[in-house]
Each structure stands twice: as C-alpha cells, then as structure tokens.
Structure 1
Amino acid sequence: MNTALRITAFTAALAATFGTAYGVGQGLDPVVEDSAAASHGTHGDPAPAPEGGGGHTGHAGADTAPAGGLQISENGYTLDLATPRVTAGERTELRFTVRDDSGRAVTAYRREHDKDLHLILASRDLVTFRHLHPSLGADGTWRVPVDLPRAGGYRVFADFTPAKQGAENLTLGADLAASGRYDAQALPAPGATAEVDGYRVELAGALRPDKASELRLKVHRDGKPVTNLQPYLGAYGHLVALRSGDLAYLHVHPNGEPGDGTTKPGPTVSFTATAPSAGTYRLFLDFRHEGKVRTAAFTVRAGALPPAHAGEAGEAGEAGEARDGHGH
C-alpha cells in the first residue's frame, strides 16, 4: 500500500541550500516522536462529503473529501510561508500569511473547533508531528514558536475557512526545511496499539480507499478504561491522517460531540473516514485527559498490500520519542 515517494528532489534542494545532511523530527508516542495517546466517541451515519478541498470533516462523521495539503494555492487562496527555513534544536518563530487572489492578507476567519486556524507540522518521514495554534496579527500574519528536534524536511499544513461568505474549508501546504545533521528515521511498522505517558490506545477498524469506514480508538490507563476524557477544541478527540510519500492530508473529527446527549467521554472515540487512495498512512490522535493533551500515532495501510509487504500488516507499531506536540 505504499504511495510513490516524492522526496528525492526536495532532499537534493535541501542539501544544496545547507551543504549538510538532514534528519527528521519528533513525533507522537506510538508512531510519532512528539506525544501520544487516544480518545473517545460514539458514531452516527456518515453524512455526505463536503465539496471542495481540505480533507476536513465535521463532527457528524462525514467521510472525507479528497486529501488536502498537497497544494500551496487553492480556490483563490495561497499560503505564504515567511519562514521556510529553521535550525533544528533552536526555538524559532514561524511566520506565515494566507493571501487571497488579489494578494491581500486574509484577516478574518470562520472559527472552527474553537480556533480560527489549525496548523499541523509534520516531518517528511512522519516521525515528528505537531498540532499548533498560532496567533493572528492585525496585518494578517500568523506567528507561532517552533522547536524542531532534528534536521530534515517538514511539511506545514494550514487548515482554515475564510470568513468570506460561501468560502469553503481549505488545507494548504508548504515545505519547511530544518538545517542540521541528517539522521534518517524509518517509518514505524503498522500496529494496532500505541502507548504514551502510561496510556494505552487500541485501534480497531480499517482505513479504506474510496470507501467510508469507522475507526475506533479506545483509551486505557494503568489497564483501566478512561471514561472521563475532557473536551479539546470542542471534541473528545481529533484525528489527522497523513499519507506516506506525499503527505496528503486528512483531518477527521469524531462521530458525536460533548453535550449532544449521546456521546460519552470515553473510553472509545470513533471516526468515519475515507482514504483518498491505497497506501501507507500515519494516524495521529489528539485527546485530553487531566488537563493535558497527548497524541497517539499509528501506522496503517489502506488497500491491498504488494506481495513484498504482505507480512508487515500484523506487526506492532514502535513507539517514538514522545512529547507534547501541541501549541496554542
């Protein structure tokens, strides 16, 4: 289920720029070096997929639209990344602007899930993952501090909806380079469990190409189910899926939401999603418990496996260097 990789030209460009090798960053516990764990939910019937790009669905459990994040411009909007390079291991202010088709900076957004814009930052090897919430200046410039643990190629995803009437949700993507010594990381093997900070998250269900399917993530701590998950950005869990190779982006929200009269705060969070194609994906689940957001990560395969990889499907995912990958 591997998707064709597109990193060769990008890596060469990085080498030419910095004259050094690169290494990729942090993620969430089981499949990423940043933080890890899972969440809750109930589910309903899938709603029709929204039109337009972005790969973003709502709490109703709609199956996802075609993956977003592969384009820097879409529907008349462009992601203008003012900080395309940082130094690994150094805290840097990341700055960017969303511009309309006239080149003006967008200053008004439609708030979704408690934020005007969600910023996802992931390493090209999918070992590092960050879910950040930058601050918007009066001039339309977004700012957020980042500290990437390792050198290498990263992808920045801006997930937002302009306030303009009729505007659709978009996810625009741009490349980010972190200079330093390169230390390549292998994609963790597929697995159905993830552990982080004493939490164990179990994944049930399969991600399927071109067909909506339910993914259920069950959270335990110290061997007991967690039944008091806390709302985070208006939900008991958030799920981001990135396709290995080109980092096509899907952002899926749970089936059900806090206060709807049916959704319980754990131990299971369910999502309905559709993979845009067969391939290998990394799933990153954000959940909040006892005041702290954690992220659990899994490697999964959607679609038929090539013969050479058929034996990998049952292997357990390995934990990365866990750390809280969230910013506000």
Structure 2
Amino acid sequence: MNTGVKITAFAAALAATFGTAYGVGKGVGPVAEPEKAEHGEHAAPAPRETAADGHAGHGGEGAGAAEALPGGLQVSEAGYTLALDTPTPAPGRSTLSFSIKDTAGKKVTAFATEHGKELHFIVASRDLTTFRHLHPVKAPDGTWSVDADLPAAGGYKAFADFKPAAPGAQGVTLGADLAVPGAYAPKPLPPVAPTATVDGYQVRLGGTLDPGRAGELKLTVTKGGEPVTDLEPYLGAYGHLVALRDGDLAYLHVHPNEGGPGPDVSFTATAPSAGTYRLFLDFQHGGEVHTAAFTVTAGASDRAPVATPGATHGAAGHAHG
C-alpha cells in the first residue's frame, strides 16, 4: 500500500483552516469512505451576520461582511442542516441525493425562489480544479437529487444556497464534505493570468477583490476577437459568479450589477479575508451555459486581480438537473 496519507471527507475539512492552505493537498494517497455523522452530532453554529437582503452567502454587502463568518463553512446553521445521502459517490457520473433538515430532523419542503431556483447546489473539488453548478430536482418529501460528474478521486465540498419559505427566514449557505474513493492525486492551483478561455470564448477579468471592502469585478466576454453583445439571461441575469477561498473553501456567491447583454458583466463583491480565491463565472450564449474559471489574490497589493488561463468546460462545468 502507498505510504501516502489517507484522508476522508471530514479529515479534509479539518485540515482546512481559516485563511490557510489545504495542507493535505500536497500528499498522495487513497481516499477512504467517511463515517456518516448523525443529525444530532452537529455542533451548534457560530453567530453570523447577514446581508441587508437576508442572504449571508452573497457578496456586495459592504465592509461589514468582512466581520461575518463566510458562507459554506458549516453543515448546520440557523436551525438547518445539509444532510447528504450520498457522501461517497463513485468516480465519474453518479446521482447525488440530499435534503435540508430542520432542528427536529424533518426534511424541509418549502423554499423561497431566488434567482430562478428554490435552491442552488454547488460541488467543488478541494483543489478547486473541478466545479459543478447543478440544478437538483426536489421530491415531494423534500429529498433533492441530481446527476453529477466528479471525474477524480479525492475530497469535494457540496454547498446548498437557499432561503426557507418560513416567514422571516433568512438566506442560508451550508457546506458538507464529499469523498470520492480512490487514489488521490491533487492538482496544483492554476496560476494567475488576465484571461480565461472556455469553449471558444475568451473572458477577461478586471477590477478588484478586496478583503473587507466592496469592489467591482468586471468580466468581458469575446469570441473570435469580437465582443459578445448578445449574452442570454441566466438565472435572471447575464452572469452568475461564485468565489471559493483556497484552503477552507469559504463560499462567496455574488450576482451581477445592472447591465447587459454584454460584452461586460459587472459584479460587486467583498472578500472575507486576504488570500487566494477561485472565481467561477457562468454565462449563457447560443443556448448553452459556459463556465470560465479564474485564480485571484485578494489583499496582496493594490493591483487589479487577474485570472487563470486554460479554464475548460470539463474542469469547471455547469449541469442541469
């Protein structure tokens, strides 16, 4: 047997600390199946501020967001728990199943619709080279399911971004660990660069991602050297952006400012801390959704952040459920 380390989904989460690198990522070894925690074993959530719209997982709330706990770091929060039925999916395409449970352990069935969906479900690998924005289907009993392609063994994190339909309910972003069994060979984080190429499109990133301060991120979409001026609405806007912090995969989910239909898509976002982030932009054109990925450093200098080249639809992808 390899002398590399064994990790589980929960060990991966423990190895990631606030604002530091994911230390296990440099090792190579098999991924074992984790023990599944019972609902009652979750620790009580820490207090967390929310945005003016009640959605703590979104960016653009201003400097106060830097003091709040970022989204996706807890499996239980505000009386809700993300319960995964399939924490150890097989490599490749498989069906993921989960539910949102309340404090009594009952599955939640009523959700408010936000950005065209009752729930946004994101799955990303711990090395941030695989990203899936999925659209699960909810059964009458509150069980959600969706097909997903997780191409390699290793640790992943699933995020559920939702707002319960209960009166006065706030938006919640929960995170839980997945482990795809097999020999784990993490990939290095792609370097920073000013553009990304995906499915024949070129996307340039400009602006700033600042810790504790709202800043504008502007993404410009071109194809064949020509600006794309007819982007199509996707989730009620002309683009959808998710940012994940390298290390603990803290989740920052932002939506665009007014504008469109291209070639520019503008977002306002606040980084919860200095550090390295991966940005994943979903945009729709020609009836297809494309995902461009970027590596950005926040807080290193006053320079505008830049993106990583070579983003492909296979590494950062979008799927329909």
TM over 0.5: yes
Change in Cα spacing, 1:271 to 1:197, as seen in structure 2 (3 Å) is same
Residue type at the aligned position of 1:77: Y
Q: Which residue of 2 aligns with 1:291?
A: 287
Q: Which residue of 2 aligns with 1:247?
A: 249
1:4 aligns with 2:8: no
C-alpha distance in 2 between matches for 1:7 and 1:182: 14
TM-score (norm 1): 0.80
1:273 aligns with 2:269: yes
C-alpha distance in 1 between matches for 2:180 and 2:167: 37
SS at structure 2 position matched to 1:86: coil
C-alpha distance in 2 between matches for 1:63 and 1:133: 29
> Structure 1, residues 227-270: CA drift from partner, whole Å, max 9, x if none?
000001100000000000000001000012xxxxxx33001000
> What is the CA distance between 1:226 and its match in structure 2?
0.5
> Structure 1, residues 260-296: CA drift from partner, whole Å, max 9, x if none?
xxx3300100001100000000000000001000011
Q: Which residue of 1 aligns with 2:313?
A: 322
> Pairwise mapping of residues 304-315 of structure 1 onto structure 2 (< 5 A)?
304=300
C-alpha distance in 2 between matches for 1:107 and 1:13: 39
**Structure 1 stretches of 5 or more lacking a match?**
19-47, 257-262, 306-312
SS at structure 2 position matched to 1:177: strand
Q: Which residue of 2 aligns with 1:218?
A: 220
1:101 aligns with one of 100, 103, 116: 103
> What is the CA distance between 1:207 and its match in structure 2?
0.4
Residue type at the aligned position of 1:281: Y
Contact 1:14-1:177 at 8 Å conserved across structures:
no
C-alpha distance in 1 between matches for 2:227 and 2:179: 40
Runs of 4+ in structure 1 off by over 6 angstroms are 11-14, 313-316
> Structure 1, residues 129-181: CA drift from partner, whole Å, max 9, x if none?
00001000011100001121111100000000000011111110000011123
- RMSD over aligned CA atoms reads 2.7
SS at structure 2 position matched to 1:270: strand
> What is the CA distance between 1:317 and its match in structure 2?
2.0
C-alpha distance in 2 between matches for 1:53 and 1:226: 31
> What is the CA distance between 1:52 and its match in structure 2?
6.0
Change in Cα spacing, 1:128 to 1:74, as seen in structure 2 (3 Å) is same
Q: Which region of structure 1 is more displaced relative to structure 2, 246-255 or 91-100?
A: 91-100
Contact 1:193-1:316 at 8 Å conserved across structures:
yes
Change in Cα spacing, 1:252 to 1:190, as seen in structure 2 (3 Å) is same
C-alpha distance in 2 between matches for 1:238 and 1:101: 31
> What is the CA distance between 1:62 and its match in structure 2?
4.4
**Structure 2 stretches of 5 or more lacking a match?**
1-17, 35-49
> Pairwise mapping of residues 1-328 of structure 1 onto structure 2 (< 5 A)?
3-6=19-22, 8=24, 15-17=31-33, 49-50=51-52, 54-57=56-59, 62-63=61-62, 65=65, 66=68, 67-89=70-92, 91-256=93-258, 263-304=259-300, 317-323=308-314, 324-328=317-321
Contact 2:57-2:161 at 8 Å conserved across structures:
no
C-alpha distance in 2 between matches for 1:222 and 1:15: 42
C-alpha distance in 2 between matches for 1:6 and 1:264: 37
Contact 1:243-1:249 at 8 Å conserved across structures:
yes
C-alpha distance in 2 between matches for 1:53 and 1:232: 20
C-alpha distance in 1 between matches for 2:179 and 2:30: 7
C-alpha distance in 2 between matches for 1:87 and 1:167: 35
SS at structure 2 position matched to 1:85: coil
C-alpha distance in 1 between matches for 2:116 and 2:306: 37
Q: Which residue of 1 aligns with 2:41?
A: none
> Structure 1, residues 57-104: CA drift from partner, whole Å, max 9, x if none?
5xxx64494420000000000111111001112x22101010111111
Structure showing greater relative contact order (alpha-carbon pairs closer than 8 Å, 6 or more residues apart): 1
> What is the CA distance between 1:3 and its match in structure 2?
2.8
TM-score (norm 2): 0.81
Change in Cα spacing, 1:12 to 1:127, as seen in structure 2 (3 Å) is closer
